[in-house]
Amino acid sequence: MRKDQTQSVPSTDGHLKTNFPIVPVSEVPSNGLSKGTGAIRPVVLVVDDESVIAETIAEILKRSGYAAITAYDGEEALESALLMPPELLLTDVMLPGMNGIELAVKVRRIFPECKILLFSGQAATTDLLASASRGGHRFDLLTKPIHPNDLLRHVSSSLGARRTQSAVTPA
């Protein structure tokens, strides 16, 4: 399949959900952080109830030097965060049970330094964000589908200088 082609992805209800451009994994840029460099690999918790989306985003992040872990709902994400505190939470807004904004608020209460990026492909997200904003919570929102280069730019920007710190080796 050529990279300018699009592919349809089935949703959990069996209907085609969206079309998105195909980007070969070999074209995902690397930031130079790899498992063997001794650099700190920032932990990014990726949450989406569509496992294909969560796993694809995690793979993009891993190939770019991040330690990405996945969860498929809010409760699972909270459990994962307690076991491995994330530096960045990247979550879909529309999740079954606890939505992504509720998850973001809970994660931020437990881990105040955790950066938050929300993403969504649904218009209903606007009302949820407005409600969170009235409650004093401000979150950045990415629109699905997102190109891998744009995703990595937002992740890198959110993490800032913390992304490039080197590991300290004990004496």
What's the pLDDT at 34? 46
What's the pLDDT at 115? 96
Chain-centroid distance, C-alpha 72: 12
- CA–CA distance, 81 with 157 (Å, rounded to integer): 21
Name the amino acid, one letter, at 71: A
Query: DSSP 3-state assignment of 46?
Result: strand
User: For each successive 10 residues of the chain (171 residues), what is the average pLDDT?
Assistant: 46 52 58 53 96 96 96 97 97 94 95 94 69 74 88 93 37 32
What pTM value is reported for the model? 0.70
Tokens, residue 164: 């490039």
Query: DSSP 3-state assignment of 57?
Result: helix
Task: Decide: residue 98, CB within 10 A, 0-12 exposed, 13-18 middle, 19+ buried.
Answer: middle
Cα torsion through 87, 88, 94, 99, rounded to 10: 30
Q: Please identify, in words, the CATH class of the domain defined by 42-159.
A: alpha beta
Distances 127 to 17, 23, 51, 56, 134 between C-alpha atoms, Å: 21, 31, 25, 27, 11
Where exactly are the structural domains of the chain? 42-159
- CA–CA distance, 100 with 102 (Å, rounded to integer): 5
